[in-house]
Chain A
Amino acid sequence: DVKVTQSSRYLVKRTGEKVFLECVQDMDHENMFWYRQDPGLGLRLIYFSYDVKMKEKGDIPEGYSVSREKKERFSLILESASTNQTSMYLCASSLFFSRTGLGNTEAFFGQGTRLTVV
């Protein structure tokens, strides 16, 4: 069974703290993504990575950074947490398009991390 695992389901952090959200996948996927989910706004892409040490900014990268040192692990870093970063964070992975030749390759999601910054 395919699996994307996020290290925490719930986190509470203080303003100004450096926060690490970890995500691991066991499907040998090239692509990994971090999304942020807020009520009424749907899912918005923060960053994605299509290879080890490669990263691309998504729609809302400000205040975030990422790290991908190993193929199976993709970390989201909040350099200095702020209250407006309180949200649900979702990690996902998928095969690289060119490997499958199919544009309908879906993304697999983790359970999400609900982060509260106080």
Chain B
Amino acid sequence: AQSVTQLGSHVSVSEGALVLLRCNYSSSVPPYLFWYVQYPNQGLQLLLKYTSAATLVKGINGFEAEFKKSETSFHLTKPSAHMRDAAEYFCAVRGRGSQGNLIFGKGTKLSVKP
């Protein structure tokens, strides 16, 4: 069965510092992977998705993620954190079957210090 594990429930960085949010997946088939962001009291918004066309995926708001099959990872990065990046981030993998439900990690809450 597919699953994702997000390492670290809380990550704190200073404004301008590198953001690195970790996600490892488990899948017996080529995975379809996603990163979502949730701002306080909001729904989830897609940041980026892995399409298999390229291992480095660029998303919105300056975020990108690199798919590494050998490490079964899909870590999310941003070179320079901004205060507005403070939110909760979820990694997800598509479940098996054609219905397409997404299986989510437990989330990582990002804090950005001035």
Chain A residues in the interface with B (C-beta under 8 A): 4, 9, 31, 33, 35, 40-45, 48, 50, 56, 58, 90, 92, 94-98, 103-112, 114
Contacts and interface: CB of A to CB of B under 8 A. Distances in A.
18 contacts: A9-B41, A31-B101, A42-B107, A43-B90, A43-B104, A48-B99, A56-B99, A90-B44, A94-B100, A95-B100, A96-B98, A105-B100, A106-B34, A106-B46, A106-B49, A109-B36, A110-B43, A111-B43
B43 A109 contact: yes
B42 A96 contact: no
A111 B42 contact: yes
Contact of B32 (A40, A92, A103): A103
Given A31-B100, A106-B34, A41 B106 contact: yes
Contacts of A41: 106
Contact of A40 (B9, B43, B52): B9
Contacts of B90: 42-43
Interface size class, chain B: 20 to 34
Contact of B44 (A48, A98, A103, A109): A109
Contacts of B45: 109
B contact face: mostly helix, strand, loop, or mixed:
loop
Given A31-B99, A33-B101, 14 more contacts: A9-B41, A31-B101, A40-B9, A40-B106, A42-B104, A42-B105, A43-B104, A90-B43, A103-B30, A104-B51, A107-B102, A111-B43, A112-B41, A112-B43
Interface of B: 9, 30, 32, 34, 36, 41-46, 49-52, 90, 94, 98-107
4 residue pairs, one from A and one from B, having the closest CB atoms: A42-B106, A109-B43, A103-B32, A97-B98
